[in-house]
Amino acid sequence: MPAPQRMSRTRRLQVLLLVSSLLIGCDILVPGLPADNAVLDAPLDGLLPEQLAVHLAGDEDFARRFSPADGVGPTFNATSCDQCHVGEGKGHVMFNLTRFGRMGPDGFDPLREFGGPQLQDRALPGFLPEQIPAAVTGASAFMPPAVTGLGFLEAVDDATLLALQDPDDADGDGISGRVQLVDASTVISEIADLETVVLGDGPTRGTLVDGQFIGRFGRKAGSINLLHQTVNALLQDMGLTTDLFPKDLLNRQTGNFAEDGVADPEIPSGVVNALVFYLKTLRQPLRRNETDPDVVAGDALFGSIGCASCHLPTLRTGLSELPQLSNVAFHPYTDLLLHDMGTELDDGYTEGRALTAEWRTTPLWGLGLSADFQGGQAFFMHDGRALTLTEAIGLHGGEGSASRTAFQALSAEDKDRVLAFLRSL
Ligand SMILES: [Ca+2]
Ligand SMILES: [Ca+2]
Ligand SMILES: [Ca+2]
């Protein structure tokens, strides 16, 4: 019998390199893979094997191209989540959604009789896509936001957000954020019940404020939690029905009430749950160049010129069934509140009680990776109208105007430090 061959020296070296690269992380030894702090679609640390399995199932559903046989349509915008949320990062302006409505004497009307507020610009063969109706007075383009770290944002207690509000600007800093409130319709109440956290002392989220729920996801904060956002995305963006929204989108403009022929609900609750768990367990974006002296100086300036008053560096979660999300501090750079951002960002479109000029503070974590996920050119603000960070800051009017002016008054070196800090997020 031939003696078992000993491992050659080069082979041993290869194994050693492989093992050490697994220990150190992939950024140094395997140049073909992106660094850990450059990817957004990683799971939270420490998920149990069975949790990781649901996360991975949700990851697959997030990437899955749904077909007409699965129930896409009759009208829709896209056929998979990650077509818009590429790599779980910010989406390209090419995938902006359009929402519209009409301002009237009784307030803003989302024109449901014309298929509002969302324009489904694609349709199955034999159906027609929607068009913007003539009655519209305002329309907004919504660029797909990054979807990472959202489990942390979802786990912030309602009481924390209520305490951050300053609707009458009592502290006189020119900033008066307030929470979005969403009507407690039967289905929204059901969604809140399904996700209400009752651990120990009772519900800490999904509580009623003046008979309404606090909104926290979406650019106008129109969704109360990740389940709400997900079933809404399935129906509105892809034409897929669920237990919670079991009726297909029909084109009210053409009066074609033919259905897509796929039995409703088209998407089983297991898929919905996996998608929600996937979003909930996506890790928060990691920082880069955090200790660079310019970044550190920019961080301090970000606070002193008032950016941090809305882009709150630190929030705390309440209780969660996942220990990773339970009672922890995290750094999203948002207060999840609505702010009046002035006339330039007023598209004449709105949702819930937000004014047309009010927007939810965009979380800035992951900001420095924007271009990587948007095809090389970064786009900023709700519709991607700003191509540079300086332009984005320049668009801060209303409650944001004092900090914009303070930024513009900085020396060129200090401006660069603020920008270096923003790129490190
Ligand atoms: Ca359908
Ligand atoms: Ca529509
Ligand atoms: Ca159907």
- In order along its 425 residues, the chain shows pLDDT tens digits of 444 444 444 444 444 444 444 444 444 445 577 888 898 889 999 999 999 999 999 999 999 999 999 999 999 999 999 999 999 999 999 999 999 999 999 999 999 999 999 999 999 999 999 999 999 999 999 999 999 999 999 999 999 999 999 989 998 999 999 999 999 999 999 999 887 776 777 778 999 999 999 999 999 999 999 999 999 999 999 999 999 999 999 898 888 888 999 999 999 999 999 999 999 999 999 999 999 999 999 999 999 999 999 999 999 999 999 999 999 999 999 999 999 999 999 999 999 999 999 999 999 999 999 999 999 999 999 999 999 999 999 999 999 999 999 999 999 999 999 999 999 99
Cβ atoms of 218 and 229 closer than 8 Å: yes
Instruction: Give the Cα separation of 214 and 197 in Å (integer).
Output: 14
Which one, of 329, 321, 316, 231, lies nearest residue 51 by Cα? 321
pLDDT value at residue 31: 58
Ion ligand 1 residue ranges (Cβ < 5 Å) = 71, 239, 248, 260
Distance 52 CA to ligand 3 centre (A): 31
- 402 SS3 class: helix
Neighbours of ion ligand 2 (CB under 5 A): 115, 118, 120
Q: Find the 262 Cα to ligand 1 centroid distance in Å.
A: 7
Whole-angstrom CA distances from 20 to 11, 43, 178, 354 are 14, 22, 49, 52
What sign has the CA pseudo-torsion 29, 32, 38, 44? Answer: negative
CA of 276 to the centre of ligand 2 (A): 24
What pLDDT score was predicted for residue 7?
42
Tokens of 258: 């033919």
CA 123 / ligand 2 centre spacing (Å)? 11
User: What is the CA(117)–ligand 2 centre distance, in A?
Assistant: 6
Closest ligand, as measured to the CA of 129 = 2
- What separation in Å is there between the alpha carbon of 308 and the centre of ligand 1? 43
Rg (CA), the chain: 23
Q: Residue 334 in contact with residue 318, Cβ under 8 Å?
A: no
Residue 355: the pLDDT is 97
* Burial (CB count <10 Å: 0-12, 13-18, 19+), residue 328: middle
Place of tokens 């809305």: 310
Tell me, rounded to whole angstroms, the distance of Cα 85 from its chain centroid. Answer: 9
Asked if 98 and 78 count as a contact pair (C-beta separation under 8 A), the reply is no
How far is it, in rounded angstroms, from Cα 204 to Cα 159?
A: 7
- Provide the whole-model pTM: 0.92
Cα(407)–Cα(386) distance, rounded to whole angstroms?
A: 16
The number of the ligand nearest the C-alpha atom of 70 reads 1
DSSP strands (E only) in 266-349: 315-316, 329-330, 338-340
pLDDT of the residue at 9: 43
Q: How far is the CA of 261 from the centre of ligand 3 (A)?
A: 6
Contact 316, 375 (CB under 8 A): no
C-alpha 269 to ligand 1 mean position (Å): 15
Q: Where are the domains of the chain?
A: 9-33, 49-159+214-280, 293-423
Nearest ligand to the CA of 71 is 1
Place domain 293-423 in its CATH homologous superfamily: Cytochrome c-like domain (1.10.760.10)
Closest-approaching ligand to the CA atom of 113: 2
